[in-house]
Amino acid sequence: MKKKLHILFLCGWYPSSVLPQNGDFIMRHAQSVQLKHNVSILHIITKTDISKTEIEVIKEGGVFTYIAYVPQSSNPIIKLIRFWNAYKKVLGKIGSFDVVHLNKLYPFGLFALHLKKFKYIPYIISEHWTGYHLRERKSLPWLERVLSKKITKNASSVCPVSKDLKKSMLKCGLKGSYKIIPNVVNTHLFKPSKKTTKKFTITHISSLLDKHKNISGMLRVAKQLENSIDAFQWKFIGGKKDQFSALLNELNFKKNTIHFIDQLSHEQIPKQLIQSDVFVLFSNYENLPCVILEAFACGIPVISTNVGGIQEFFPKNFGFLIEPNNEDQLFQKLIEIFNNPFSRGIKMHQYANDNFSSEIICDSFSKLYIKAIKK
């Protein structure tokens, strides 16, 4: 068998001109796989300002990305036809490949099923979606549940990013051959460096969606800190402060700075992390956020809510896990880190390198690709 395979990443989520940050963790998986294999990306997304399908082809870092932009339609039948035609058109440009790597099993898993049934090309699945957690299971439409079961059953391997997500998927009836493969970290980019800022700095990086990330809770804790710490700054990276203006006015910070920084490129994130004393994630639900692993790689301690699969990859001496919505716990742990700064940079980076580096993730997927072909 040839060692270098051609892998088709079939992506329901992927960065595009419509949604630049959507599924960037999938892009990093693809970049890892290309260390040993040829990789092509296929992604289809609707776009409002076009009248016919447009296909964008990008070659970057050994990865060929094909993004089809289809005109928007409120008619589901027309939308389905447009996606199918775009899929067939892009396949013609990509040519032959050995294995399909499906990302987010529904609805693009229908394309993976088509390729297996009619082209005899096997597929594996990577899954990151929080929607499979038990409390959201009943919100999935009936047809989606039925088709998702079929897609999962026909996959050579199913790779959720955590055991917690696997558990939720199984509770939804999604039976298959499971193998946990976590998110990837570029440990050459994310690495410890000397902090040059003297001010105690807390950092949070996310979509800033309050229902998910509980930004309001962190802002209230920041106000509590103002009475205990003379000088600190808290950076919220990933969006604008407009939605929190009323709360910020009510809290009325007088002596400390709350920064809201719009979305940064992936390459700009390490600089923000290494200038931090602690990274905070106060989410109500998660799977396995890349940014926690990236903080570890930079040697930065983390305070996170104990939700989803976070605890599975969170060594005890790398920070603190707290209860969701427990603002008092978050406050106390921030004070603890302020009074007793962490110094575990090299050990934390080594942990990230041993478990989440591009090389480690590439090896894990490579074994599953070969296994799929042999089946």
Q: H/E/C letters for each residue in the chain? A: CCCCCEEEEEECCCCCCCCCCCCHHHHHHHHHHCCCCEEEEEEEEEECCCCCCEEEEEEECCEEEEEEEEECCCCHHHHHHHHHHHHHHHHHHHCCCCEEEEECCCCCHHHHHHHHHHHCCCEEEEECCHHHCHHHHHHCCHHHHHHHHHHHHCCCEEEECCHHHHHHHHHCCCCCCECCCCCCCCCCCCCCCCCCCCCEEEEEECCCCHHHHCHHHHHHHHHHHHCCCCCEEEEEECCCCHHHHHHHHHHCCCCCEEEEECCCCHHHHHHHHHCCCEEEECCCCCCCCHHHHHHHHCCCCEEEECCCCHHHHCCHHHEEEECCCCHHHHHHHHHHHHHCCCCCHHHHHHHHHHHHCHHHHHHHHHHHHHHHHHC
Question: Do the domains at 6-184+358-374 and 200-355 have one common CATH topology?
Answer: yes
Longest dimension (CA), the chain: 67
Residue 159 has pLDDT above 60, yes or no: yes
User: Residue 137 — very low, low, confident or very high, per pLDDT cuts 50/70/90?
Assistant: low
CA geometry: angle 118, 67, 290, nearest 5 deg: 100
pLDDT at 205: 98
Residue that has been written with the tokens 């090309």 in this structure: 121
What pLDDT does residue 230 have? 83
Average pLDDT over residues 175-179: 97
Confidence tier at 245 by pLDDT (50, 70, 90): very high
Place 259 in a pLDDT band, splitting at 50, 70 and 90.
Answer: very high
Contact (Cβ atoms closer than 8 angstroms) between residue 105 and residue 144:
no
Q: How much is the mean pLDDT over the chain?
A: 94
Question: In this structure, which amino acid lies at residue 205?
Answer: I
Share of the chain above pLDDT 70, in %: 98
Looking at the domain 200-355, which fold is it?
Rossmann fold (3.40.50)
For domain 6-184+358-374, give the fold.
Answer: Rossmann fold (3.40.50)
The string of pLDDT tens digits covering residues 312-355 is 999 989 999 999 999 999 999 999 999 998 877 899 999 999 99
pLDDT at residue 21, as a whole number: 85
Give domain limits for the chain. Answer: 6-184+358-374, 200-355
CA distance 312 to 302: 14
1 pLDDT higher than 80: no
Average pLDDT over residues 156-164: 96
Q: pLDDT band at 58, cuts 50/70/90?
A: very high
Evaluate if residue 121 carries a pLDDT over 60: yes
CA count, 13 A, side-chain hemisphere, 108 = 26
Asked if the model's pLDDT at residue 133 lies above 90, the reply is: no
